[in-house]
Chains A and B, each alone.
Chain A
């Protein structure tokens, strides 16, 4: 619509200022700050790519990268698949079905920090009720957060307890857009439930899957609270996600430059993931 050029910019100004100061500027600070370091006497000194060179040679850093990638390669597909499964289970209307859906949704209203506090108590080896339940069922006690092989998986499980019911609702909204006739036609042609899911539901749900995968990845990628509250990166580095490594470097080791260098690595990984996702969405629009 026609208006003097200053009008749209006046409407945009507050939001753009906010995004510029609190989103774009930190990216710049990360890029530049990663090139500096603090000397033993507390002065800021230029290190060039010294921080990055040190990271490349640091086994702990590579461990964090590995744990972060592994975590995301498991949790995101798992949550998308579980949310789809729940949606298929509750899609058909019926008595109490609405109540069941709401029951699955409730955990998202628990913050991730509180989720961590709660499950840390529930799974506690000494006094946790879940351990008591295992005993009652004659299952041997599990280390959960304290087992090197189980800790990351347990974090994935509690984050999924919180998230999948929420994503289920987006899947349900996607399922509701599929025309009934498609199913009826397929049924007439003799397609069974499995074939109908494979050849009708899944293809028609691609946009929904893309949206849920992108939004879910953004929510999970840099999970911090469970590591900070429960495991502290342990046992033996098994849950040392990158975000926690950046935090610890700044606030425990007081190495600002190195922490910003890790932040830059995180931003690069996120930009790469976003590019892949953009491409995924675009090929999707093509017929």
Chain B
């Protein structure tokens, strides 16, 4: 009897928390399929109509398609995908070197790599901007992409994966006459699919969510990224609410779908890389 009462209380708590966590997003997405005039119609007096739309429309998404938002989506996708492509090669190569070879300054270099991921990127945004201005790179895709390629955490994840591969495998491949590049590229990189998925997701989402660095480094309209576009839209006096909610919903979905699909792999790879 007492046990059943505890189980009931547990489910009640889990349910209430789930509603609290999801309600804001539910309201966001429901608002995006309401006629623009209806969005705040019932917001002032809370009731069923605040939560359930009376009329359903996709016109907000049509408005969004004819605004400058598709350009921002294109920019963000381009920046995120390019970053991931460079990053996977660069960080896995470094992880391979740390895992397989013994070389001078190895410990020092590895500690510096670890330190770089304890240092929040925001902390160097202002001086990085000074550097970009000196190089003449402000308002370029380069400025948005290159600083996010080398990642301490990604290097660490790849190192942990490659270090767990049995040494015999490397030795045998060497005896068979494989070059180190072939061992890395053909033999072990293809084995590291979970680490590749985790690092790719992590860096894709970082770029898709990027806000602070883009407003500092690339403020021109042609280079506007998704988050910056949404925040600017929300700050205008004459806000186009329908378009705002539609573009915000798209932005959430692009990050949420791969995140939810890879959730298990992602958490496991990070946890079991030595933090456990």
**Chain A residues within 8 Å of B, Cβ to Cβ:** 1, 3, 5, 7-9, 11-12, 14-19, 21-23, 25-27, 29-30, 33, 86, 89-90, 92, 94, 96-97, 99-100, 102-114, 116-122, 127-129, 132-133, 135-136, 161, 165, 169-170, 173-174, 177, 207-208, 211, 214, 218-219, 221-222, 224-225, 228-229, 243, 246-247, 250-251, 256, 259-260, 262-263, 266-267, 270, 274, 277
**In the complex, per-residue mask of B116-137: 1 if CB is within 8 Å of any chain A CB, else 0:** 1111101111111111000000
Residue B4 at the chain A interface, CB threshold 8 Å = no
Residue B102 at the chain A interface, CB threshold 8 Å = yes
Tell me which of B22, B27, B97 contacts A8 (CB under 8 A).
Answer: B97
With A25-B131, A117-B234, A132-B50 in contact, is A122–B27 under 8 Å at CB?
yes
Tell whether, in the assembled complex, residue A117 and residue B248 are in contact, meaning their CB atoms are under 8 Å apart: yes
Q: Report 19 cross-chain contacts, Cβ distance below 8 Å, ordered by A residue.
A: A3-B101, A7-B101, A9-B103, A11-B101, A12-B97, A14-B150, A15-B94, A22-B146, A100-B15, A109-B255, A111-B251, A117-B231, A117-B234, A118-B24, A122-B27, A136-B45, A225-B212, A243-B122, A243-B212
Tell whether, in the assembled complex, residue B47 and residue A136 are in contact, meaning their CB atoms are under 8 Å apart: yes
CB distance from B211 to the nearest CB of A (A): 4
With A1-B170, A127-B40 in contact, is A135–B120 under 8 Å at CB?
no
B residues 146-197 near A (Cβ < 8 Å) are 146-147, 149-150, 152, 155, 167, 170-171, 174, 180, 184
Tell me which of B22, B100, B147, B271 contacts A170 (CB under 8 A).
Answer: B271
Residue B66 at the chain A interface, CB threshold 8 Å = no
Residue B276 at the chain A interface, CB threshold 8 Å = yes
| B89 / chain A contacts, CB cutoff of 8 Å | 14
Tell whether, in the assembled complex, residue B24 and residue A122 are in contact, meaning their CB atoms are under 8 Å apart: yes
Tell whether, in the assembled complex, residue A106 and residue B256 are in contact, meaning their CB atoms are under 8 Å apart: yes
**In the complex, residue of chain B having the shortest beta-carbon distance to the beta carbon of A28:** B127
B residues 11-28 near A (Cβ < 8 Å) are 11, 13-15, 17-18, 21-22, 24-25, 27-28
Tell whether, in the assembled complex, residue A18 and residue B122 are in contact, meaning their CB atoms are under 8 Å apart: no
Tell me which of B7, B46, B244 contacts A129 (CB under 8 A).
Answer: B46
Tell whether, in the assembled complex, residue B211 and residue A112 are in contact, meaning their CB atoms are under 8 Å apart: yes
**In the complex, per-residue mask of B31-51: 1 if CB is within 8 Å of any chain A CB, else 0:** 000000000100111110010
CB distance from A147 to the nearest CB of B (A): 20
Tell whether, in the assembled complex, residue A18 and residue B146 are in contact, meaning their CB atoms are under 8 Å apart: yes
CA distance A94 to B131 in the complex (A): 54
In this complex, the member of A11, A117, A219, A243 whose beta carbon has the largest number of chain B beta carbons within 10 angstroms is A11
**In the complex, per-residue mask of B217-259: 1 if CB is within 8 Å of any chain A CB, else 0:** 0000000000110110011000000001000100110011001
Residue B115 at the chain A interface, CB threshold 8 Å = yes
| B205 / chain A contacts, CB cutoff of 8 Å | 109
Tell whether, in the assembled complex, residue B128 and residue A110 are in contact, meaning their CB atoms are under 8 Å apart: no
Tell whether, in the assembled complex, residue B109 and residue A16 are in contact, meaning their CB atoms are under 8 Å apart: yes
CA distance A207 to B276 in the complex (A): 6
Residue B91 at the chain A interface, CB threshold 8 Å = yes
Extra contacts, 5 of them, besides A1-B167, A27-B127, A117-B248 (Cβ < 8 A), are A12-B97, A26-B130, A122-B27, A132-B43, A267-B124
Tell whether, in the assembled complex, residue A111 and residue B123 are in contact, meaning their CB atoms are under 8 Å apart: no
Closest 5 CB pairs of A and B: A18-B150, A15-B94, A111-B209, A11-B97, A109-B256
**In the complex, residue of chain B having the shortest beta-carbon distance to the beta carbon of A135:** B46
**In the complex, residue of chain A having the shortest beta-carbon distance to the beta carbon of B15:** A100
Tell whether, in the assembled complex, residue A219 and residue B120 are in contact, meaning their CB atoms are under 8 Å apart: yes
Tell whether, in the assembled complex, residue A169 and residue B267 are in contact, meaning their CB atoms are under 8 Å apart: yes
Tell whether, in the assembled complex, residue B130 and residue A260 are in contact, meaning their CB atoms are under 8 Å apart: yes
Residue B64 at the chain A interface, CB threshold 8 Å = no
| A229 / chain B contacts, CB cutoff of 8 Å | 231, 234-235
Tell whether, in the assembled complex, residue A29 and residue B116 are in contact, meaning their CB atoms are under 8 Å apart: no
Tell whether, in the assembled complex, residue B208 and residue A22 are in contact, meaning their CB atoms are under 8 Å apart: no
| A243 / chain B contacts, CB cutoff of 8 Å | 122-123, 125, 212
Tell whether, in the assembled complex, residue B252 and residue A30 are in contact, meaning their CB atoms are under 8 Å apart: no
Tell whether, in the assembled complex, residue B127 and residue A30 are in contact, meaning their CB atoms are under 8 Å apart: yes
CA distance A111 to B116 in the complex (A): 22
